[in-house]
Each structure stands twice: as structure tokens, then as C-alpha cells.
Amino acid sequence: MDIEKKVYRTPDGLPVDIAIFTILSREQPSSYRTLAHRELNVLLVKRSRDSEAFPGYWALPGGFSGENETLAEAAYRELKEETNVDNFVRIEQVKTVYYPGRDPRGWMPSVVYCALVQERHLLNLAADTDAEEAKLFTIGEALEMTLAFDHHELLQDTLEHVRHMMMSTTIASEFLPEEFTIRELYQVIQAVVPSFEEDIANFKRNLLATKTRKGLICESVGANGEPRTSDRHSNRPAQLYRFSGYEPSISIYNSGIF
């Protein structure tokens, strides 16, 4: 174990890349209040024209983590640089990659994070569809582009990770306000996992009235116990709900929790 005598340090720390996701909603043109269209987007940045590697290509934002910060702090720093949002959004580590040749400049692993950011924190980015350096793309668009390095694959892996989390945890809350309608929750899930399809009436009942899921979300009530509602998306007000913090652990082997 003579390696322990050496000094361990890279000049720039460990590279950290971050896939920043948001769900953009478009109101449908209609004279009535109607459901919004929601679509998952990801933030990409354009590499400078005089970059040594992949100049002018779009890529996931990234940077280097220093020796005086955690990896998550480096990811947050990168997030803040690109979007100006602060630590109140949730980030998740996805994976770490290295294989020979993934960066033409040499030994360059990458710790990949993802962030789930509410649309309202990205209003300037969402509006600026012609931005030159940082821009939101729909997942469909992003996956069709030729991205720098192996970022296409990283994006795919990250997407799969987010989809899995969407179905097995309550991260849907990251894309929703504190109080939300059943329909909003339903739309958020579908925006991330399009193959999730269920009759919304049954979705609601299963969520509220079955033993294993009861308590996952609960009705929002005001100070006097009266139900709180929203008419954001319909003329008829809809009941608002909130996540309770309870998160069931599910299994492929039976239908219970463990």
C-alpha cells in the first residue's frame, strides 16, 4: 500500500455535470379556462467556439468540484450559475462515469447530477428561445441533437433515473406548488413518464381511498377547516392537495408495502 505515501489531488477537482429539468406549461388557446399542456424540458449550454473539445456543441452544464466543497455543493454552484436559482431546489446524484476516450483531452471522469426546477424559477430562460449560450429544449429535441462528449448517453441515463424516481418516490412535488390539484399531479407524472396512462377518476380514487396509498396526499384545508380550492385550470374550482411526507415502499413481489 505504498500509494498511501503519495499526495492525492487533482488540479481542478472532479468534473460535475448537471441535467437541469423543468416542466414548461402552455395554456391552450381557448375562451374557456382549460388544462395546460405540460412538457418536460432540459437545459443545455452551448460550448464556446474556441473550446478545445466540441467547440460550438450543445452540452449539459458542468464544472469542477473543488477540494473545499462537497460534490453536491459544486452541483448547486453550477445550477446557480446557469439559472440563478438557489439551494431550495432538489438535486440528485445520478451516476459517475469514466472510460478511456470519453474526453479527447484525457482523464476526465464526470459525476452526473440532475436538478428538478419549477418553471417559475426559469421564466427568463423559458422566454428566451433564441438564447445563444443556455436554452431549454424539450426532451424530444435534446435527444435528437448531437451533444458534446457522451452527453447524449448521460442525458438518457439521467432521464431514466428521473422517470424511475417519478414513479417510485414523491419527487413529483418538486415540479408542483405546495398545494396542487389531482389533475396537476397527474399531468406532471405524465409529462415525465408518458406511458403512464390511467383514467383520471380511477387515479384519484386509488390515490385517496386505498390502504397502501392513503395518506400519500391529503386535502388542503383553510384555517376554519373549509377545503381550499383552485380554479387555475377550470371554471369549477378543484380541491387542492398537498403531499404529506409519507412515501410508501413498494415491491415487485407483492402489492403491499414493507
Partner DNA sequence: CTAATAGTGTCTGTGAGACATTATTGA
Partner DNA sequence: TCAATAATGTCTCACAGACACTATTAG
Per CB under 8 A, 195 contacts a copy of itself: yes
Window 166-225: residues binding DNA (CB under 7 A):
181-183, 198-202, 204-206, 209-213
Identify the residue among 25, 41, 65, 158 touching a copy of itself (CB under 8 A): 65
Q: Which stretch binds DNA (CB under 7 A): 53-61, 83-91, 119-127, 227-235?
A: 227-235
Q: Of the two residues 143 and 250, which places its CB atom closer to DNA in the complex?
A: 250
- Which helix (H) or strand (E) segment holds residue 127: the answer is helix 123-127
Q: Of the two residues 40 and 122, which places its CB atom closer to a copy of itself in the complex?
A: 40
- Would you say 96 and 109 are in contact if contact means Cβ atoms under 8 Å apart? yes
Amino acid, res. 145: M
Q: Which stretch binds DNA (CB under 7 A): 23-31, 38-46, 105-113, 137-145?
A: 23-31
Count the residues of the shown chain that bind a copy of itself, applying the rule CB under 8 A: 68
Is beta strand 110-117 parallel, antiparallel or unpaired with respect to 14-26? parallel
Task: Compute the distance between CA of residue 64 and CA of residue 62 in angstroms, rounded to an integer.
Answer: 7
| CA proximity to 114, closest of 70, 160, 68, 69 | 160
3-state secondary structure of 166: helix
Q: Which stretch binds a copy of itself (CB under 8 A): 17-25, 124-132, 209-217, 227-235?
A: 209-217
Task: Compute the distance between CA of residue 175 and CA of residue 197 in angstroms, rounded to an integer.
Answer: 19
Amino acid, res. 100: P
Angle among Cα 197, 203, 209 to the nearest 5 degrees reads 155
- Would you say 248 and 216 are in contact if contact means Cβ atoms under 8 Å apart? yes
Residue 235 interacts with, from a copy of itself, DNA, none (CB under 5-8 Å by kind): DNA
Residue 13: all three cell numbers together? 477537482
Q: Of the two residues 70 and 84, which places its CB atom closer to a copy of itself in the complex?
A: 70
Q: Which stretch binds a copy of itself (CB under 8 A): 28-36, 88-96, 123-131, 142-150?
A: 88-96
3-state secondary structure of 19: strand
Least distance (Å) between residue 235 CB and a copy of itself: 27
Per CB under 8 A, 258 contacts a copy of itself: yes
What is the binding site for DNA (CB under 7 A)?
28, 30-35, 181-183, 198-202, 204-206, 209-213, 229, 231, 233-239, 254-256
